[in-house]
Amino acid sequence: MKSIQITLAALLLLLVAACNATKLAQNENGGIGGTGISTGRISNFGSIFVNGVEYDVDSADFTRNDLLESNQQSYRIGEYVVVEGDVNPDGVTGKASKVNFSRSLQGNVTTVSSDGTTLAVMGQPVRSNVLTVFYGFNNIRDLTTTDKVEVSGVQNALGEWIATSIRKLTQSGEDWEVKGTIQHLDSSNQTFAAGGLTVAYGNAALHDLPNDRPEVGQFIRARSQQALAGMRMDASEVRLTSPTPTLSVGTKIRLEGVITRFTTSTNFAVNGLDAITTSGTRFGEGTANDLSLNALLEMEGTVAADGVIMANNVKVKESASISISLIQGAVSDIDSSTQQLTLGEGTTATIIVVDSATLWEDKTDIPVSPMNFNALNNGNYLQAQVKRGNDGQWLALRVTRTEPPPVTNTFSGLVNSVELTSQQFIIGEGTTATTLLVDAATTWLDSTALAISPMSLNHLNTGNSLTVQAQQRSDGKWLALNVTRTNIGTPP
């Protein structure tokens, strides 16, 4: 009897310890610490930042499109990854054991819309937004149907791929790959339809398919080493897969994605994974009223016995009631203690807050990697995608450092001197004199009574009257873009 009492006492101590451990796993922001899975876009490097957690990856295994990689350099900012590992009790640091990237699409651009946000890749609809990172091009309109791209992202309720990154491919030999749901099956011809693409699987290796055959409704990945024939892929491989990671009961998950099913603000699905909120769920950004179909959010929770995610922390990034705005300008103040920066000065100054989930890029002529808050200097020109936080402050979702936009000006006056050797001329005299450089791109127009065509620097004389549109270079000098000679003055 005494031994039973000791065992029971020990058991009670273990239960208390377990309860205390569970409490310790909840960080002060309502996040969950402990071992689990995090799925979302890479927002920064140094380690790897995903969903606001900086993961130490020194001991992690890396996989990219089924191939083992040696380090994190095989990944890019914006790519959607799955991280397995531990999150520390602070909720913002952790240690990764595995990092995996699996592209959503890779293939030819088949249509590009005029709205600058949507396109189709092998017939699959793709939608970009202000958080999508582009590689090899600057705007969706820059792409053509001769281009081949790799898309990373998640699907929304309409079946569109919401791209977190799009990379334009420049190397030959890349496979074609599509992920999607089989919508129509023609077993006699051994083809099926996925989106706007017909996939022929007669010569393909089939993996993980029940009865070794595809079925309508299955989510598959099809690959081919051959270029498409119109909208037909001759697949070399078809594999049954899942748009979401496999989760076991008790798994702690951090998830970035879109609401793909919305019943109520307490009952919905994110990336196809069912979730519920309770009175104890904390909304770090936005409120329960901001949840809606196709809303973009981050969520933390634990998988319950029925497979549903019990959400304990939700951050709504964008929805029908929450919009993302662009604020840009030169940095005038940096406060490291509060992670705040100020863009602009005086009445136009705007204070912006960054956090561990902010996505950073450096697109200056001499970029820094990794780019982060500590790399900022006063005078840096930034483009910040922001939303209003629950505290009313502007919270940066994405910060891009760029070269400042060119300063332009219009100068009018009489030519003071012309220097052919240095390819420049001076307008005005004394304190109002301005030196203007010309180059091969400078355009010339002579609107005098004795007009010369083509006009050039060689035709200028002292006393000619000019109107010049110019742009200031990074060295402070003015470069003439357009030069017009007018009737006042002495033609050559």
3-state secondary structure of 446: strand
Give per-residue pLDDT as tens, 72-98: 999 999 999 999 999 999 999 999 999
Does any domain span residue 422?
Answer: yes
Same domain, yes or no, for 396 and 427?
no
Q: Nearest-CA neighbor of 175 among 116, 249, 234, 130?
A: 234
Q: Closest Cα to residue 285, out of 391, 409, 204?
A: 391
Distance CA 462, CA 222 (A): 71
Rounded Cα distance, 43 and 40, in Å? 9
Instruction: Band the pLDDT of 487: cuts 50, 70, 90.
Output: confident
* DSSP-based three-state secondary structure for 2: helix
Total tally of structural domains belonging to the chain? 4
Q: Are 24 and 86 in contact (CB under 8 A)?
A: no
Confidence category of residue 155, pLDDT binned at 50, 70, 90: very high
Task: Please tell me the distance from the alpha carbon of residue 458 to that of residue 447, in angstroms, as a whole number.
Answer: 16
Residues 110 and 142: their CA atoms lie apart, in Å, by 14
Residue where a domain terminates, one of 301, 318, 335: 318
pLDDT band at 34 (very low <50, low <70, confident <90, very high): low
pLDDT tens, 390-436? 999 999 999 999 999 889 999 999 999 999 999 999 999 999 999 99
d(CA 115, CA 36): 39
The domain containing residue 435 runs over which residues? 407-485
Structural domain ending residue among the three candidates 347, 367, 402: 402
Say which CATH number the domain at 393 has. Answer: 2.40.50.140
Does 66 map to a domain?
yes
- Mean pLDDT along residues 334-338: 96
CATH of the domain at 468: 2.40.50.320
- For residue 403, CA distances in Å to 329, 342, 380, 386, 436 come to 11, 17, 8, 20, 22
CA 150 to chain CA centroid, Å, is 13
Whether residues 312 and 369 share a domain: the answer is: no
Q: Does residue 332 sit in the same domain as residue 396?
A: yes
Per DSSP, 347 falls in state G
Compute the mean pLDDT over every residue in the chain, rounded to the nearest whole number: 91
- Whether residue 144 is contained in a domain is answered as no
Q: Which 3 state secondary structure label does DSSP give 42?
A: strand
- Please enumerate in sequence order all residues whose Cβ is within 8 A of that of 186, keeping only pairs 6 or more positions apart, or say none: 192
Could you tell me if 417 and 462 lie in one domain? yes
Instruction: Kindly indicate the confidence band of residue 174, based on its pLDDT and cuts at 50, 70 and 90.
Output: confident
Within 10 angstroms of residue 398's Cβ, the number of other Cβ atoms is 21
- Whether 15 shows a pLDDT value over 50: the answer reads no
End position of a domain, from candidates 83, 101, 119: 101
Q: Flag whether 94 is in a domain.
A: yes
